[in-house]
Structure 1
Amino acid sequence: MVSGLPWPAGIVLGVTSYVAVRYGVGWCVATFGGSVGQTLDGTLADSTYAPIAWLLLGACWLAALISFLDERRRRHLRGMQSGVGVLSTMDWREFEMLVSEAFRRQGYSVREIGLSDGDGGVDLILHKDGMMTLVQCRQWRTKLVDVKWVREMYGLLVHHHADVVKIIAIGSYTDDAQRFVHGKPIELINGNTLLSMLRDIRAPASARTL
């Protein structure tokens, strides 16, 4: 989707689409359509091409606005104090965005799934070095993550032919859950580990390089 692109790309894409449809299509019809094409071009230029061109321009610029607001929201989240108390007060969308940004800073290509695709528990899909990782975010404040959720994610790993599963929770995991993942490509990330990841994404680039 265009909203997933950087917002300047959405603006450029909108202008390009407008020019291509408003003038490019008409030029092709007039140039290669012979006399009939020239007649149709003059008739249809304003009645057909223009509305479509404006529609594409508006759609692309709306997507660019969404991308801009999303990027600004991510910057705000990165600058927040990332204590467990603050993480627990975020809504699920903010929490997921913050986690996805942490993985992007680690070099992953991140696809945000959330609740939109009927994912059955997958919130993020990560790609890096030819490997696919499924991520589930559990923003529970006090509840331990039970082995039931871990088993479900293992089933999704097999179903999607993924390589690794990462389950992220503010709290921790039951003993049964920790025993279940032994020897399996499943990583249980608790609140302390998550805070370390978030501290890294707030650090200046020069500090991370050093």
Structure 2
Amino acid sequence: MARKKSSPVEDLVIVISKLPWWIGVALALVSYVVLHSMASRPMLPTAATPGQMGDAAVRSITTTLAMFGQYVLPFAFGLGAVLSAVAAARQKKLYDTTASRPGVGALNDMSWQEFEMLVSEHYRRKGFQVIREGGNGPDGGIDLVLRQKDEIYLVQCKQWKAYKVGVQPVREFYGVMASRGAAGGYFVTSGEYTADAKSFAQGCNVELIDGQKLRLMINAARTKSAIAPQSITPPQAASTPACPKCGKEMVRRVARQGSNAGKEFWGCSSFPKCKAVFPLEGTH
């Protein structure tokens, strides 16, 4: 059965939903401001020459399109941003749930869409800006584009469980990397790689990540995020001792004469009724 053809607006929503949510919000605001200003332009005066008639016709068409577009485009961008935010929340929950399950069994239980979301969240937490391209389904295509500074990295995900990935898919992935000028690439699978695939990747800027390695990477990231900075407790002020004779609170005093002149000592607060004293350094 043929797939139903989607409308341009639906296609736009899908594209925006694969971008970070804040991009959709920014595009919605900018498109509304620009199109609203175009829709609010005054009509040209009555045309007297053919040239003026042409200008008036163009102005009328663009103004009419802007009147509709000022609502349609921001709506599409906004809806895409909402879908992106929802997907990001699901992605985060999936990652945390997977991180709490030991072994690679959690990876094998996923659909290929969930596996792609897991990998996307992992690289997002590593500081990359992640754009999901979606690939061509479970077995091919570039799934993620990672951006960091001025460089891009490509990611292909193959949720093939215990299947061994051979050299051919890795070679094709490297070809796409070269054609798109990527600084590097990550080929991720929940299974394993053949010896030929590993040998080929050694001569390229391609990192092969199997299920076991991905599991270790997730565990390491989770452990790192779980280590909270240790709170620094400010030094406590020295406690004020009680007078050993009468039990009143002691106060700091400075000797004014004698061999200890200028030195601090503890003296009873009830002085001169109580004349108990002892050295300041004698307290703990």
Greater RCO (CA < 8 Å, at least 6 residues apart): 1
Per the TM alignment, residue 128 of structure 1 is displaced from its structure 2 partner at its CA by: 2.7
1:63 to 80, 91, 111: 80
After superposition, give the CA deviation of every residue in 1:162-187 in whole Å (9 maximum; x if it has no partner): 33232111121112222222333221
Aligned equivalents of 1:205 and 1:96: distance in 2?
22
Aligned Cα RMSD in Å? 3.6
3-state SS, counterpart of residue 140 of structure 1: coil
Q: 1:2 to 1:155 in 2, by over 3 A?
A: closer
**Pairing partner for 2:182 from 157, 162, 165:** 162
Partner of 2:255: none
Check 1:116–1:51 CA distance in 2 against 1; reply closer, same or farther (3 A cut): farther
Instruction: Report the CA distance shift for 1:136/1:19 in structure 2 as closer, same or farther (over 3 A).
Output: closer
In 2, the alpha carbon distance for the partners of 1:2 and 1:141 equals 30
Which letter does structure 1 place at the counterpart of 2:38?
V
Give the length in aligned residue pairs: 201
| Structure 1: stretches of 5+ with no match in the other structure | 37-42
The answer to which structure has the higher helix fraction is: 1
Structure of higher CA gyration radius:
2
Which runs of 5 or more residues in structure 2 are unaligned? 1-14, 47-59, 231-284
Report the counterpart of residue 39 of structure 1 in structure 2.
none
After TM superposition, the structure 1 stretch with the greater mean CA deviation from structure 2, 185-194 or 46-55, is 46-55
- Map 1:41-56; keep pairs closer than 5 Å: 50-56=67-73
Aligned partner of 2:214 in structure 1 is 194
The residue matched to 1:122 in structure 2 has which SS? coil
Distance, in Å, in 1 between the alignment partners of 2:112 and 2:162 is: 15
Q: In the alignment, does 2:97 pair up with 1:77?
A: no
Q: Which amino acid aligns with 1:93?
A: Q
Confirm or deny: 8 A CA contact 1:78 1:201 kept in the other structure.
no
Deviations 1:61-120 (A, max 9, x none): 321321222122112212213442221222212211210121122222322222269xx6
The TM-score normalised by the length of structure 1 is 0.74
String of CA shifts for 1:95-153, please: whole Å, max 9, x gaps.
11210121122222322222269xx6322222335443222111111111112222222
Q: State the distance in 1 between where 2:33 and 2:206 align.
A: 49
* Contact preservation (8 Å) 2:39, 2:64: no
Distance 1:95 1:208, change over 3 A: farther
> Among 38, 45, 67, which residue is 1:25 paired with?
38
The answer to whether the 8 Å contact 1:111/1:126 transfers is yes
**Secondary structure in 2 aligned to 1:114?**
coil
Aligned to 1:90, the other structure's residue is in SS state coil
Query: What letter is aligned with 1:154?
Result: Y
C-alpha spacing 1:152/1:89, structure 2 compared with 1 (3 Å): same
Displacement of 1:8 after TM fit? 6.2
Q: Is the 8 A contact 1:200 1:208 kept in 2?
A: no
Change in 2 beyond 3 A, CA 1:196/1:12: same
Q: CA deviation at 1:56?
A: 2.7
